[in-house]
Amino acid sequence: MSQRFEDFCPKLVAGDISFAEERLIYTSNSGKQVALESSAKLILDNCTGTNSVRHIATAMLKANKSLSFRLLLETLETLRKANLLDNEDDWPMADETNVPSSQRAWWQKRLFGLQLIKSGRQQNASPALFSLIVLVLTAAGLYGLNQLVPFEVPQDFLRIHESYFNGLLLVLVAVSIFRVGKGICQGALIWAMTGRKPHMELELQTVGLAVETNAAEIWEGRLAHHLGFAVASALVPMAIATDVGLLMGRGHLGRDFAILALIWSFVELSPFRGSDFTWFFSRVAQGKHVDHLKPFLRKKSLFALFKNDDVDGEKTLLAYATLSILWVFGFLLLSLKVLNAAFAHLLVDLNMDLFGALVPARPGADRVAEVATIDSIAAAALLVGLFFVLLAWLRRVCLIVFSNALDPLQGTLKTVARNMGSTETAADANVSAQLKQFPIFSNVPEATLAQLVASAKFKTFKKGTRILIQDEEGEEAYVILDGNAKIERHGATGLVRHIATLGPGAVFGEMGLLKKTKRTADVVAVDECKTLLLTQDLIAVLKEHEQAGQSVLDRIFISQHMASSDLFKFLPPEVIHLFANSGEVEHLEPEKVIIEQNEIGTDFYLLLRGSVDILKNDQQVQTIEQGGFFGEIALLADTPRTATVRTAESTSVLRIEAGAFWEVMTNNLNMAMTIENVAESRLGEAASA
């Protein structure tokens, strides 16, 4: 980390601010948009490249008499992920939770591009024009659908003038027309809805031409506008097919073009990619649950209606999953219709009569002459294309079915995989010297370390093996000797979040030493990971040498007292791990001054044992008991210490310096909000004193 997060000075790219339905919309001059809470305006105003995160927090505190750390962090994260920070390369926080932006499919790879329109500043939106475009596209699209009722796929589908080569050309031309037409229509919709020129590029891609727009980055407009945008955009292929049908009639070519438009409309609505479908639901969720949509569909959707998991945004997720499943079955029926009615005969033309007597002869001719070589290649290309489409569909369906079915068995499957991926190993000859290099064992005498190593168990985990499994009960802790591991938490929606990465010397799972308890996250070996198991027997050995082994015992001590603290007892063990690794335990005598009023402070304190008195102008105003904390105000904002803190008895505290404090805060919003609420209350008391 090149600099501390609180010292980072975010610089916003040039753009402007607008508001829509209580949401703040920031639009860069290049046309990129993000939706934020309306109260984030003060944060944006301070993102000048000269104000640090700490300075912005101070400005929020002064302007609002309160500080929302969640709002500050989420706003900066959103801006960075949208590439709206000029100095995002200087972002100091490790971003292992960030999911890379989705890559284009192979058929969408850009080969050449020509900018048609560059996004511009907002002018006057035209709701009437927007509504007119939506109505025209919707009416034309629905008319095209109506022309296909009753839906039948002819046996000579894509056999234009007795040639599948002509059919293959029709597919490539039609897809290009659909994608260019959709891009143009989206551009018109964006312009009318927002009053901004859309960003539009004409691209030559692997499969045909396309007009790409910045529709995925548009957040302006009401929800009704977004619904109209999504529906109209999805119906563009059918609207184009209607126009083609009116111009060319409903002959062979017009009919096949309309069927291709229907197939492409299904493809464009796929819930498994950045489609109009997912675009609309991301707007329904206002960006809050977007990351949860696909994991929920893949892992939880089939049984969600029969459970009551009280998931945040559950209605949005259930609606998304239900419509996704309907899309899956609709696409299956459409694909089978095309396969059964037309493509079986394509096999016959290729002399691959796999269906035998089940394939009826094509009407109107005796036996068509042997298909020419180039026509055979075209027919094979169509067949392979259909095969891959069905294969992709089958993969998605199997993923949903098996992931949903196996989700309740995840614990068992992970346990089996762990047993297969782990082995007990003997201690290395230099393990005592290695342990001595770790801070928590640095004060342990060599004789004690030798005794500990002699009675300890060592395990090696293969890459990808889960060392700890979420919701599994455990009663031992681990010390990483070699390798790395990552902490992952599985949410109720199926979303997996990365919490932290652990390296040699890290201790995890220590809550299990206090009492047999369920693990709150998975710990996964990033590479081959060698560990030492800390058990109750080893802790007993260390307690016999309490003074020498104080660093290890302090680690357990921190966990014990956090577990009993009203403020921190619900803190995840991985956060306790961060606190314990980042802090230093101090054992203080009575009447010891820890903080002086009006001094500039850089440390935050957790009260592990004992109590402290809070004095303002030498008058005692409060006593903080075991499990509390103090020193947070000066770290959240640029302000001197508001009171003197003095021990009332023999006291143990965990002192955490500013950098570690901010690291823990930025990774644990619930705790950050708890601390900032207490800070706000104490600051108010200080102001009134």
Q: Where are the domains of the chain?
A: 5-90, 106-408, 426-571, 583-688
Quick check: 567 pLDDT over 60?
no
pLDDT band, residue 110 (cuts 50/70/90): confident
Give me the mean pLDDT over the 55-70 stretch. Answer: 71
pLDDT band, residue 619 (cuts 50/70/90): confident
Q: Which residues lie closer than 8 Å to 346 by C-beta, 6 or more apart? A: 164, 379, 382, 383
pLDDT score of 19: 79
pLDDT band, residue 514 (cuts 50/70/90): low
Higher pLDDT, 288 or 8: 8
Higher pLDDT, 462 or 584: 462
pLDDT score of 351: 55
pLDDT score of 358: 37
Q: Which residues lie closer than 8 Å to 174 by C-beta, 6 or more apart? A: 257, 260, 261, 264
* Domain covering 583-688, topology: Jelly Rolls (2.60.120)
Residue appearing with tokens 């096999």: 347
Q: Tell me whether residue 6 is exposed, middle or buried, using C-beta atoms within 10 angstroms of its C-beta: 0 to 12, 13 to 18, 19 or more.
A: buried
Q: For 242-383, list the strands marked E by DSSP.
A: none
pLDDT tens-digit map of 369-406: 445 677 777 777 877 777 777 787 788 778 777 777 77
- CATH 2.60.120.10 applies to domain 426-571: yes
pLDDT band, residue 368 (cuts 50/70/90): very low
Higher pLDDT, 217 or 145: 145
* Bond preceding residue 150 cis, omega within 30 of 0: yes
201-215 in b/e burial notation, b at 16+ Cβ within 10 A? bbbebebbbbbbbbb
Give me the mean pLDDT over the 479-488 stretch. Answer: 88
pLDDT score of 268: 81
Using DSSP's 3-state secondary structure scheme, residue 113 falls into strand
* Structure letter (DSSP) for residue 646: E
Closest CA to 627 of 663, 592, 654, 645: 654
pTM over 0.85: no
pLDDT band, residue 357 (cuts 50/70/90): very low
Quick check: 607 pLDDT over 70?
yes
pLDDT score of 583: 75
pLDDT band, residue 90 (cuts 50/70/90): confident
pLDDT band, residue 185 (cuts 50/70/90): very high
Higher pLDDT, 359 or 292: 292
Please state, in angstroms and rounded to a whole number, the distance separating the CA atoms of residues 12 and 15: 8
pLDDT score of 549: 45
Closest CA to 676 of 192, 73, 32, 30: 73
pLDDT band, residue 576 (cuts 50/70/90): low
Least trusted range by pLDDT, from 515-529, 535-549, 626-640? 535-549
3-state secondary structure 50-95: CCCHHHHHHHHHHHHCCCCHHHHHHHHHHHHHCCCECCHHHCCCCC
How much of the chain, in percent, has pLDDT values that exceed 70? 74
pLDDT band, residue 571 (cuts 50/70/90): low
Just give the CATH number of 5-90.
3.90.930.60
418-444 in b/e burial notation, b at 16+ Cβ within 10 A? beebbeeeebeeebbebbeebebbeeb
Give me the mean pLDDT over the 50-78 stretch. Answer: 76
Quick check: 353 pLDDT over 60?
no
Torsion 347-349-350-351 (CA) sign: positive
pLDDT score of 653: 86
How much of the chain, in percent, has pLDDT values that exceed 90? 12
Please state, in angstroms and rounded to a whole number, the distance separating the CA atoms of residues 143 and 137: 10
Structure tokens at 5: 């997060």
Closest CA to 192 of 184, 181, 203, 201: 184
* Structure letter (DSSP) for residue 341: I
The answer to whether 521 and 453 are in contact (CB under 8 A) is no
Higher pLDDT, 96 or 50: 50
pLDDT score of 524: 92
pLDDT tens-digit map of 646-685: 998 888 888 887 777 766 666 555 566 666 666 655 555 5
Closest CA to 31 of 287, 280, 212: 212
248-287 in b/e burial notation, b at 16+ Cβ within 10 A? eeeebbbbbbbbbbbbbbebbbbbbeebbbbbbbbbbbbe
Quick check: 137 pLDDT over 90?
yes
Higher pLDDT, 225 or 317: 225
Using DSSP's 3-state secondary structure scheme, residue 460 falls into strand
Quick check: 601 pLDDT over 90?
no
pLDDT score of 287: 52
**Terminal-to-terminal C-alpha distance of the chain:** 40
pLDDT tens-digit map of 117-134: 887 766 777 889 999 999
pLDDT band, residue 275 (cuts 50/70/90): confident
pLDDT score of 674: 63
pLDDT band, residue 186 (cuts 50/70/90): very high
Whether 426-571 and 583-688 share one fold: the answer is: yes
Quick check: 361 pLDDT over 50?
no
pLDDT band, residue 472 (cuts 50/70/90): confident
* Beta pairing class for 15-20 and 584-588: unpaired
Q: Tell me whether residue 341 is exposed, middle or buried, using C-beta atoms within 10 angstroms of its C-beta: 0 to 12, 13 to 18, 19 or more.
A: middle
User: Over the chain, what is the mean pLDDT?
Assistant: 77
**Phi and psi torsions of 497, nearest 5°:** -110, 135
pLDDT band, residue 354 (cuts 50/70/90): very low
